[in-house]
Each structure stands twice: as C-alpha cells, then as structure tokens.
Chain A
C-alpha cells in the first residue's frame, strides 16, 4: 500500500472531489456555440449591404424597411391576435385541468388525463400539423385565422399547464385548511386564498403559452391559408425568396420580443419561489 503514498500532483492545488479541470472552458465553448448564431443574426441585421454576408457598413435601414412593410405589419397583427386568444383560452383550460390533476387526488383516469394534456409535447410537430390540416380539410372548416387559433390553443395547453401545476404542487394546503377553519366557504377560499396564491403560476403559464404561440412555425405553416399568415410563416417566405438583411431585422425584432417575455417569466418565477408559500 505504501506506493500509494507517492504524490501525483506535485505542488499543484488539488481540486475537491468531483471537480475536473476544463469544465469551465467547455461550458464557455458551449454557451458560445449556443449564442453565436443569434449574435451573427443580430449583427448582420445592421448590414448596409443588401448582400447579407458581405459587410457594407452599419445601417438601420432594414429595420425601417421592415417597419414600413405592410405585409410584415399584417403578419405581426395576425401573430398577436392568434397569440392573444391562444394564451387566454389555453391558460384557462390548463388552469382548471391543473386544479383537478394536482388537487384531485388519485382517481381512475388520472394517468390518462395527464398523458392527454401533455400529448402535444410528445408528438412530433409535423405529425400534429398534418393531422390538423387533414382535419380542417375533412370537415371543411375554413375560418382563416380561426383555424390557426384553434390549432394554437391545442398545443399551448401543455405549456401553460406545467408552471401552473408546479405552483399548485408547491403550495401549502394548510393555508386553505386555515381559511375553512375561519368560516370561509369553498368558493371564498378559492377566491381569496387559492387564486391569489396561484396567480404567479397562471401568469407564468400564460407567458409560456404566449411565447410558444408567437414562435410557432410548422403547424401554422400547414394550417394557415392565404390571409392568415403569421410572422414566422412570413419570415419563411422571405427566406425562400432570397437572403436579405431585412430578414435579419425582422428576425431580430421577434427574437428580442421572445427573449423579453421569457426573461419576464423567469423573473416572475424566481421571485415567487423565494417568496415561499408557507
């Protein structure tokens, strides 16, 4: 055993058990890989040269062009309308569903219900897109933007569901017991105790649903008809027509919009986590 006593790291600081050299560098490389394309995208949106890849100086002109592009304006409005309705409806549906699944105890069909509500997450998007396209065609439903809204509500439900359910499971039920103990009815308990405490979860779920809806591409592509183009679908058509910094400009705006909402979601979740629900 004495040969084990020969030091291998002569004079070097010994890392605590479980630490490895180079992990930090790897992590930085990873983050670089993750953000480099985004940086490139934003960077070239300021390219005065029409040929995206050849830098021709700094310019805001593509942003101005994008803002004045009526097709883009229509697409943005469509996206916002769809996202709004999809968020409200999917969050409402997800909230009642979460209340049942998180508080309803173990009932027959709980697993099935859970599976159903998360079904859109498991199925590849293209399959969902195809199925919905076929469905609308088969029953002859042609509500334009309405079709898109219906599709969005459907796949946004699981995204709204998860934060709400997480919040419910972290909530202390003794608060509601205390409320009943103090003569509040079921409805009053729900209104004055459950809902306010649940609200951050609902808001978080709504934010997620909103972002998912704004960003959706493939399902919207297949389900939307003329006149109900959303922003991502329009961006796709721009790409097909040929590269131009205008695409970068529009993309950067959509990017920043999504990042803002996700950051807001993050801040809300972290704040409500530290404000512990005892």
Chain B
C-alpha cells in the first residue's frame, strides 16, 4: 500500500498539507484577494461590481458628495466605526473584570472539579450564538423577563427601553464571548506555581499585593490572549448589533452585511471588510512581536 505514496519525507509532507492549502487557499485566501480588488471598483446598482477602477468605496468612509458634487465630510460611517471600537473595548473590559476571578477560582479547585467547571463554561460557547443572543431580546425587551415583574410590582411605570441601545449591544457582546476570555486566562493560571504565592506572603505581601504583584503579572500572556480573542470577534460582530440594536445602532459587522443585502454596495462592503482585516492583522502582528520578544528574552537567558 505504501508503494504509491512518495517515500521522500518532504513530498509526503506537502502531500499531506496539499488538501489544506487547496481548500483554504482557494476558498478563503483567494476570495479575500478578490474582495480586496472589489474594494477598488465601482458599485453596480444591480449587485456586484463594475470592473472599473475607483477609490469611491474608501472615500465613502469619511466623505460624501453633496448636491454640487463637492466632497464634504460625513462622520456617519466614522461614528459607526468608532462605536464598534468603543463597544468592543467595553465588552473586552467587562469580560476581563468578570472573567478573571472566575478563571482564578477554577485554578483553586481540585483537579476533577476543574474539568467540570471548564465544561460548564465552554458549553454555551459551542451552542448557536443567534439563539443565545435572541434570548436577550426576551430578557431585555418591553415586558420582558426583567421589566415584567418590575412593572407589575409597580416599581417602574413604563418600559425602561433597554433594548435597541448601545447598552443592550454591549451586554450581548459580553455574553457572546465571555468563555473566550476565561479559557486563555485559566490556561495561564494553571501553570502558576502556588509556592510563589506562599513566598510572597512569607515576605510580607498582603493578599492584595499577592494578586497585583505576582498573580496578574504572571498571567499576563493569558490576559492578553483573552482580550484579543474577545476584541476581534466583537469588532466584526453582526448578531448582537442586529438583534439587540435594531436598525438604528449599527456596528461594522451589521453595516457590512447591509451593503450586501439591501444597500447593494459591494465595493463599500469590501472596503469595510478590508478595514477590519487591517485592524486584525495589526493586532496579530503586535501580539506576535510581543510574544517573540518575551520568548527571545527567555531563550537568550537559558545559558
């Protein structure tokens, strides 16, 4: 059977990797390149693009033509981009504050309990995000789970109007990606040597100092990984702003989807996507540089 497999290990390797390269190359990388070229074309009002070079899509990000065909500054889309960044940062911070103690708590548990907690935390992550976000409509909506008892008890008179707000979106985003913050932090904390905590206490560190001077610095890799894993999906989120923000509160994700649905402005949608890609690439490069610096520091010292 092994006769038709090339014996050269190098050829074997590329044979094994070929399907991966083919599939992801053709159906992901190549499309992204096409998307990039589309962002420099003119929009076709019937959908798709006209193969004419144009930077109109990128100009549209910040400017628009008024009646005289002069360019005037239009902050509309920039506001959406800014809101996306704001909400993503907010969600990331809330996830961090909420999730770090949980990751720490799990580390303190005995082995078998730990697995159970990790299981509990990952389950929601593997279920459909649309459904989980939909549940928040029922919770936050008018006469929803929160409002109904408050209304009937007379604590409030009319609807709090929690839905269709930035706050609702923030809650939705936080809820969507919480497990992604907890797991990398837990992975970092798991490697923590608890004798270091004892040493710190032995050297007169208060319980707060132990946390700030020892635990948190040593779990920095996990914290950073968690923040990236939450921030990037939040930036491109579609479901939370779409379901919980109504048509008014757009984020990058829903704005992009809109371009390919009713707005039929494929170049603009492509341009926005390229923008998101650019942010992701920058974040990942910074992360890789930071990671390389710290491992290089450690390697140079292993003498």
- Chain A residues in the interface with B (C-beta under 8 A): 4, 17-20, 23-24, 26-27, 30-31, 33-38, 40-41, 44, 52-54, 92-94, 96-97, 99-101, 104, 107, 113, 116-117, 119-120, 122-135, 137-138, 150-151, 153-155, 157, 185-187, 208, 211-212, 214-215, 217-218, 221-222, 232, 235-236, 239, 243, 247-248, 251, 254-255, 258-259, 262-263, 266, 270
A263 CA to B273 CA, complexed, in Å: 35
CB distance from A47 to the nearest CB of B (A): 10
Query: With a CB–CB cut-off of 8 A, which chain B residues contact A17?
Result: 194, 197-198, 200-201, 210
CB distance from A118 to the nearest CB of B (A): 10
User: Counting CB contacts under 8 A, is B34 at the interface?
Assistant: yes
A270 CA to B266 CA, complexed, in Å: 47
A23 CA to B16 CA, complexed, in Å: 47
* 9 more A-B residue pairs beyond the given contacts A100-B17, A154-B23, A243-B137, with a C-beta to C-beta distance below 8 A: A20-B207, A113-B20, A124-B236, A126-B256, A130-B273, A157-B20, A215-B126, A222-B260, A258-B128
Query: With a CB–CB cut-off of 8 A, which chain A residues contact B102?
Result: 26-27, 30
Q: If the complex has contacts A52-B138, A130-B256, A134-B38, are A262 and B122 also in contact, measured as CB distance less than 8 A? A: yes
Instruction: Provide the main secondary structure of the chain A interface.
Output: helix
The listed residue (B24, B139, B232) touching A119 by CB distance below 8 A is: B24
CB contacts under 8 Å to A, within B21-42, are 21, 23-25, 27-32, 34-35, 38
CB contacts under 8 Å to A, within B92-142, are 98-99, 101-102, 104-106, 108, 115, 117, 119-124, 126-132, 134-139, 141-142
The listed residue (B98, B101, B106, B210) touching A18 by CB distance below 8 A is: B210
User: Counting CB contacts under 8 A, is B185 at the interface?
Assistant: no
Q: If the complex has contacts A126-B276, A135-B31, are A107 and B126 also in contact, measured as CB distance less than 8 A? A: no
The listed residue (B38, B131, B273, B277) touching A235 by CB distance below 8 A is: B131
User: Counting CB contacts under 8 A, is B60 at the interface?
Assistant: no
A138 and B238 contact, CB distance less than 8 A: no
A235 and B123 contact, CB distance less than 8 A: no
User: Counting CB contacts under 8 A, is B19 at the interface?
Assistant: yes
Query: In this complex, what residue of A is CB-closest to B279?
Result: A124
User: Counting CB contacts under 8 A, is B69 at the interface?
Assistant: no
User: Counting CB contacts under 8 A, is B168 at the interface?
Assistant: no
CB distance from B34 to the nearest CB of A (A): 5
Query: With a CB–CB cut-off of 8 A, which chain B residues contact A235?
Result: 128, 130-131, 134
CB distance from A127 to the nearest CB of B (A): 5
User: Counting CB contacts under 8 A, is B263 at the interface?
Assistant: no
A18 and B108 contact, CB distance less than 8 A: yes
Query: In this complex, what residue of B is CB-closest to A97?
Result: B20
CB distance from A14 to the nearest CB of B (A): 11
Query: With a CB–CB cut-off of 8 A, which chain B residues contact A254?
Result: 127-128, 131
Q: If the complex has contacts A37-B139, A53-B144, A125-B236, are A93 and B9 also in contact, measured as CB distance less than 8 A? A: no
Q: If the complex has contacts A134-B34, A262-B123, are A251 and B128 also in contact, measured as CB distance less than 8 A? A: yes
The listed residue (B24, B48, B237) touching A117 by CB distance below 8 A is: B24
Query: With a CB–CB cut-off of 8 A, which chain B residues contact A127?
Result: 32, 35, 236, 256, 273, 276-277, 280
A96 CA to B15 CA, complexed, in Å: 9
- Chain B residues in the interface with A (C-beta under 8 A): 1-2, 9-10, 12-13, 15-17, 19-21, 23-25, 27-32, 34-35, 38, 47-48, 98-99, 101-102, 104-106, 108, 115, 117, 119-124, 126-132, 134-139, 141-145, 148, 175, 178-179, 194, 197-198, 200-201, 204, 207, 210-211, 232-233, 235-239, 243, 252-253, 256-257, 260, 266, 269-270, 273, 276-277, 280, 284
Can you list 14 A-B pairs with a CB-CB distance of less than 8 A?
A18-B197, A24-B105, A27-B117, A92-B19, A93-B19, A97-B20, A107-B10, A113-B17, A123-B280, A125-B236, A126-B273, A127-B236, A239-B134, A262-B126
Query: With a CB–CB cut-off of 8 A, which chain A residues contact B104?
Result: 23
Q: How many A-B residue pairs have CB under 8 A?
A: 256
B131 and A251 contact, CB distance less than 8 A: yes
CB distance from B180 to the nearest CB of A (A): 11
Query: In this complex, what residue of A is CB-closest to B140?
Result: A37
Query: With a CB–CB cut-off of 8 A, which chain B residues contact A214?
Result: 128
Query: In this complex, what residue of B is CB-closest to A17?
Result: B201
Query: With a CB–CB cut-off of 8 A, which chain B residues contact A124?
Result: 232-233, 235-236, 253, 276, 280
When A and B form their complex, which 6 residue pairs have the shortest distance between CB atoms, in order from nearest? A124-B236, A135-B31, A37-B135, A100-B16, A131-B31, A251-B131
A96 CA to B23 CA, complexed, in Å: 13
CB distance from B187 to the nearest CB of A (A): 13
B129 and A217 contact, CB distance less than 8 A: yes
B127 and A258 contact, CB distance less than 8 A: yes
Query: With a CB–CB cut-off of 8 A, which chain B residues contact A131?
Result: 28, 31-32, 34-35, 273
Query: With a CB–CB cut-off of 8 A, which chain B residues contact A34?
Result: 120-121, 124, 175, 178-179
B233 and A125 contact, CB distance less than 8 A: yes
A126 and B236 contact, CB distance less than 8 A: yes
B16 and A41 contact, CB distance less than 8 A: no
B124 and A38 contact, CB distance less than 8 A: yes
Query: With a CB–CB cut-off of 8 A, which chain B residues contact A137?
Result: 47-48
Query: In this complex, what residue of A is CB-closest to B100?
Result: A26
Query: In this complex, what residue of B is CB-closest to A150?
Result: B27
